[in-house]
Structure 1
Amino acid sequence: MDDRSTRLSGVGLMLLAVFVFSCGDATGKFIVATYSVGQLLWLRACAALLLLAPAIWRRKKDFAKLERPHLQFFRIVLSTSEVASFFLAAMYLPLADVVTYYLACPIFVTALSAIVLREEVGWRRWSAILVGFAGVLIALRPSTQSFSWPALVALCGSLSFAGLMLITRQLRRTPDIVMVSSQFVGTFLFSAVLAPIGWVTPTPRSLVLFAAAGMISVCALLCVSRSLKLAPASAIVPYQYSQIFWAVIFGFVIFGDVPSPATLVGAVIIVAAGLYIFLREGNLGREDTTVGTPG
């Protein structure tokens, strides 16, 4: 597979990951209406680790020779912080509002990837990312809760997610199964302390939802891990903007939220920016083999 095809494969996997993550976000928000965040995270991690157990057993030797252990540990901390922040904020804010803060992540990643990872980010991609973020603001419009503590929690989660993306890119030689399972181990240990607080005995229907949340998160994380190994973080992370579409759809179908005209206008802007980045990334793949023009 040539460099251009590899980059585009990374983009495709990120788009798939965003859709799967959105399914998990909606499922989690539905669950935390009845159960605590700690209980959600713990049962979700239990389901995920049970699903991953056969693969962990087959690849157990990979866990004994981790590259850059200090970064691996920091990545687990960021992952746990990010997921806990998201669902804690989702208890108090509409799903679309929480997603708004998380969609600032591409801005953080693009800036940090140029500084930390020394990836080339041209003015065209910078412009498209900023236009896309403007579309997010138009679509979701900052509410009167913009500066509430749940909003600040969501913003901190977005910063943790940006750091997680960058470190994952640096640890791209680490096997996917190690990346994904270590995140759930971290969540399992952290939430095991919180889960007993306000514990509610799950119904059979709820257990199915907890199991689904675990399976969804495993699939999404595997897609993200692989996408970051195929393409630069600054090239694929902007596709998180597509999460706004799923937030609108799931918000309407599950929670009864009706999108406003401003949401639809913002969505069009986001699509335009995303398509531009996608086409520019395709051109970058072709030019890398010749003159190496930055994005």
Structure 2
Amino acid sequence: MTASTATDSRLGILMMLLGMSLFTFNDALGKWLVAEYPVGMLVAVRSLFGTAILLPLIWREGLAAVFAVGRLKMHLLRVVCVTADIGCFYWAVRYLPLADVMTIYMSAPLIVTALSVLFLGEKVGWRRWAAVVVGFVGVVVVLNPTGTFDPLPSAMALLGAVIFSAGLIFTRVLRGAGTLSLVTYQTLGGLVLGGVTLPMAWVDPGWLDFLLLGLLGVTALAGHSAINRSLQLSPAAVVVPFQYVSIVWAVVLDLLVWGTMPTARIGLGAALIIGSGLFIFYREQRLNRSAATQASADLGAAD
């Protein structure tokens, strides 16, 4: 590894840590605000501020370059998934500790693995299926259906994780559209879909709360930018494991802001979910390297 590569990897790790920290702060801020304001209002105002930040970038790239995309129906389905996922998350954290909901959402790599078989026709070996099963055991541990189980918020968090995973599948299919197009569509979609609810669910905020609502959009875009930059600087295998720092921040914020102490059940469930997710990621990286090596060997033989 050269000095330049090592520097890029370290910077990539720092950008991933920054991005996930911003997302966790965003989620905690949403939990704070959703106690006073409707979910649809949070989504709409957050998206309004996000759109304001995006406008100079859209102007620079040109409307045609940003909005003229193929597979428009799939883009719209992705917009619905992203907006519904945000709504489910905010609704769930109104009633559950932040760390609980975020731990459930960390099952997304497991859900994506299962959905990729159904919708993308990808092949998943028995090792990854075993990891998926172990991870979902972790989800059941977190939900704790035999103990103090709040069924509706817990089900909403799990539904949000499934919708979030479906959005990731759509993003994988549409990755050729470009980052700005994807972010713009999802931000405007949140503005439209959240805005539809405003006549029925508007609560006049003070100027400080209005700025805090807008900060949701700012931190979300900043988090996306930091994570995208992280993946540009460093290989995914280096930086992706650091996404789980968000669980640590969620536990800290739960304790400092709401006085909620994490339970041993959450710790066990998080360990199973995170361990399974890391194993699936490791297997995917290994299989990709094997496929690339085989392709190079086949090309060499053809020459």
| 1:107 matches 2:114 | no
Query: Equivalents in 2 of 1:275, 1:151: separation in Å?
Result: 24
Residues 19-64 of structure 1: CA distance to partner in whole angstroms, max 9, x if unpaired?
Answer: 4332211110011112221221111111111111111112222234
Gaps of 5+ in 2: 1-8, 296-303
Is the counterpart of residue 72 in structure 1 residue 75 in structure 2?
A: yes
Q: Which residue of 1 aligns with 2:261?
A: 258
Corresponding residue for 1:186? Answer: 189
Aligned pairs (5 A) from 1:195-210: 195-210=198-213
Deviation at 1:93, TM superposition (A): 2.8
Are 2:39 and 1:37 equivalent residues in the alignment? yes
Change in CA separation of 1:167 and 1:104 when aligned onto 2, cut-off 3 Å: same
C-alpha distance after superposition, 1:231-266 (max 9, x if no partner):
xx9xx9998766443332221122111122343444
Counterpart residue identity of residue 195, structure 1: L
| Alpha carbons of structure 1 residues 155 and 239: separation in structure 2 relative to 1, 3 Å | farther
| Contact in 2 for aligned 1:169/1:229 (Cα 8 Å) | no
Q: Aligned residue for 2:128?
A: 125
- Name the CA shift for 1:69/1:274 in 2 (closer, same or farther; >3 Å): closer
1:26 maps to: 28
The code of the aligned residue for 1:32 comes to V
1:83 aligns to what? 86
Question: CA separation of 1:242/1:266 partners in 2, compared to 1, >3 Å: closer, same or farther?
Answer: farther
The CA RMSD over aligned residues, in Å, is: 3.7
**Change in CA separation of 1:269 and 1:77 when aligned onto 2, cut-off 3 Å:** closer
Letter in 1 for 2:47: A
Please tell me whether the aligned partners of residues 47 and 217 of structure 2 are also in contact (alpha carbons under 8 angstroms).
Answer: yes
1:81-110 Cα shifts (integer Å, max 9, x gaps): 111122122223332333344334333211
Within 5 Å, which residues of 2 pair with 1:223-238?
none
Query: CA separation of 1:244/1:174 partners in 2, compared to 1, >3 Å: closer, same or farther?
Result: same
Contact 1:62 1:175 in 2 (8 A): no
Give, in whole Å, the separation in 1 of the partners of 2:292 and 2:252.
Answer: 40
Aligned-partner Cα distance in 2 for 1:75–1:291: 34
Mark the runs of 5 or more structure 1 residues left unpaired by the alignment.
Answer: 1-7
Match of 1:56 in 2: 58
Q: Quote the residue 1:159 is aligned against.
A: 162
Do the aligned partners of 2:93 and 2:101 also contact (CA within 8 Å) in 1?
Answer: yes
Tell me what 2:251 maps to.
248
Distance in 2 (CA, whole Å) between partners of 1:47 and 1:287 is: 44
Q: Which has the larger radius of gyration?
A: 2
Deviation of 1:286 (Å) = 3.4
Q: State the secondary structure of the residue aligned to 1:288.
A: helix
Contact residue 100 and residue 137 of structure 1 kept, 8 A: no
Q: Distance in 1 between matches of 2:112 and 2:279?
A: 18
Give TM-score scaled by structure 1 length.
0.78
Moved more, 129-138 or 28-37: 129-138
CA shift for structure 1 position 174: 0.5
Report SS of the residue matched to 2:293.
coil
Identity across aligned pairs (percent)?
A: 37
Residue type of the alignment partner of 1:174? A
Rounded to whole Å, the distance in 1 between the matches of 2:102 and 2:151 is: 15
Contact 1:96 1:247 in 2 (8 A): yes
**Any conservation in 2 of the 1:242–1:270 contact (CA below 8 Å)?**
no
The answer to whether residue 188 in structure 2 is matched with residue 172 in structure 1 is no
**TM-score in terms of structure 2 length:** 0.76
Q: Higher helix proportion, which one?
A: 2
Return closer, same or farther for 1:239/1:152 CA change in 2, 3 Å cut-off. Answer: farther
Deviation at 1:119, TM superposition (A): 2.9
Q: Which amino acid aligns with 1:177?
A: L
d(CA) in 1 for partners of 2:85, 2:275: 28
How far, CA to CA, are the matches of 1:239 and 1:121 in structure 2?
Answer: 24
Cα separation, partners in 2 of 1:262 and 1:198, compared to 1, 3 Å: closer
